[in-house]
Every structure is written in structure tokens, then in C-alpha cells.
Copies of this chain bind each other. A is one copy, B any other.
Amino acid sequence: MRKHPEITIHDLASELRISASTVSRALNDNKRISIKTRKIVQQKAIDMGYRPNILAANLRIKKTMTIGVVVPRIDRYFFSSAISGIEDYAWTKGFNVIISQSNDLLIKEENCVRTLYNNRVDGMIISISMQTNEDNHLRLFSDNHIPILFFDRFCPTIESDRIVVDDFNSGYQITAHLIERGCKRIAHIAGPELLNIYLDRKGGYLKALSEAGISVGDGYLEVTGLTREEGRAAFARLMSLPNPPDGVFCGNDTTALSALEYCRSNKLKVPEDVALVGFSDEPFSAVVTPSLSTVKQPGYEMGFLAAQRIIERIQNTNLPIPFEQIVLPSKLIIRQSS
């Protein structure tokens, strides 16, 4: 039931008849202060209900103990689990996390990044939007030597740490799997070419095909925004081809789901008529019927590692740690749809 009057180190100091700096040091467990004094001060702090003014400390120390996060959308499972990982680690280190979403819009992303910059976050973890085709806003950080770390979707022109999964190899595995299960005509619904992840997935697809001596059928490569609607349209186009595919690697689970729904309403059997594979292992993928083959990305782990990495960098801004691209393993999950 304590009331407003905030206790400061000066209150503690005068109460104990010592100086404020001693109080400050004692509170921070500075070894220059005798254990005895430290104990006394710390106890008094508790007794008087002292809480440090982080603002003042941060102003003095010129750090905010905050890391900024920008993701396309919070409510997508992959991103929310990544955020979960970021939060969990950051909190153990006393860092706060402020989150913002770009809605996959470049202009919104620029706005987010600028706001984080103005808020003086100590570092930024970002997964760029589908539209991001330039990097001026990102340079706000890199040019000013504020740590920046990309996860999943990165901007190739900014030198920095990155945490990704091996999209190329995953795309390769998916396609190889389709080939192995007997598909002869394999199509791919790809995402925006601006993004490394989709480019890589497509690359893996192409490599697997060419290794197997299969050429990409006419019209078998669709490039879309990977929304539900675009996915459905793209899949419809594929299935209306004179020689429709018997296996489709969809750029994400959302489009795979659209494909599934298209099949349902058009009485196509999955996987008999056409085998389907998605990407991301969204929560719904395991439970739709037929369940969706997909690639599981370790969202939580990526976030956790990202936080770990960036905090390490924040705490060693002077040390010249080389930038690193960390590739986490993803896992092909074969279910009923293929």
C-alpha cells in the first residue's frame, strides 16, 4: 500500500549517512565497496521500497537496454514463435524488447525502423517485408554501427549477422521427395523474387529437377505473393494447363492450403491426382485432411539465437566480431498430402 513518494539513492544515502555514490555502487555490487556496506545498503533499499530509475541510469550510461524487432506480422505462427524466443532470452539478460510489424509493406517497415532508431534501441532484429527492395532505412542502423540482425528474410546489401534456415536445401529436398514418390510433372508456386528465402526455395526446386533430368514444364513456375487468394489462382492456372502437374511444391503452407481446398471443390484426390507440399509447418498443416507435408522451421530457436547473438554484439560493440550467417537445420515433414 506504499504511495507515490519515489525513493532515490539520495534518500537512501541521507538515511544511512553515506554518499549517494556509495549507495549507487553498493546497489550495483561494486567490489570497491565493503561487503558489509553493500549488505546494509541493499537491505535498506528493500526496506524503503527503493526501485532504481532505469531511465536515469540509461541516460547516464547511454544505453536503453532495449532491442527492437520488426516482423511482417506478429500473428503468423512462425513470427510469433520467433518473438517468443527473442523475449525469453532477452529477459534473462535484462533487455526489453519492443516489437513492430511492417504488414509486409516497405513504407510501414521504414516507419518502424525509423521509430526504433529514434527510440535508440541498442540493436534491431528484423525479418524484412516482401516489398523491401532498398536499404536506406536499414543503413540508419548499419551506418551508425548499431547492431542489426536479420532472421529468415534478409537484405543482401547490408553486411550483418543473419540467422536463416537452409531454404535452398529444403526446396531441394521437397522436390526430391516428390520425384521419389513418383511425380513426373512437378510445379512450383514461388514467392516474390526479392526475398532470399523464396529465391532459394525455387533454386532448390530447380536443382533437384535438373539433377533428375526433369525439365520444368511450360507454365509450371508460378511467382506470386503467396497469399491465400493468389495461391488459389496460381494453383487453378496450374491445374488448367493442358498437361497439369501431378506434384506441386507450394511456397508456403497458406498456398498449399488453397491448393488443397481447390482440390476438394474440384474433386481432385490428394495425393493421388496431385501431391502437395507446403512450407513452414503452420499449426493447421498437421490437422487438415489430408495433412500437409511441409518443412518445419525452428521459429523459437531462431528467435532465441537471434537475441543471444545480438545481445552479445551489443555488449561488445568495440570488439570486431566478424559477421556471420548462421544456418539452422529445417526438417522435411512428410504427411498425407504427398
Interface set of A (CB-CB < 8 Å, partner B):
1-4, 51-56, 58-59, 64, 73-75, 77, 80-81, 83-84, 87-88, 91, 96-101, 115, 117-120, 139, 143-145, 257, 261, 282-284, 287-289, 300
Contact = CB atoms under 8 A, between A and B. Distances in A.
Describe A's contact surface by its main secondary structure: mixed
B64 A73 contact: no
A189 to B, nearest CB: 18
A272 to B, nearest CB: 17
Given A1-B143, A64-B55, A96 B84 contact: no
Contact of A54 (B119, B144, B284): B119
A73 B283 CA distance: 15
Number of copies of chain A assembled together = 2
Given A2-B143, A55-B64, A284-B288, 10 more contacts: A53-B59, A54-B118, A54-B120, A59-B59, A74-B83, A75-B77, A83-B99, A283-B284, A284-B284, A288-B288
A3 B80 CA distance: 34
Nearest to A115: B91
B75 A84 contact: yes
Given A53-B120, A144-B2, A289-B288, A84 B101 contact: yes
Contacts of A59: 53, 55-56, 59
B99 A97 contact: yes
A221 to B, nearest CB: 26
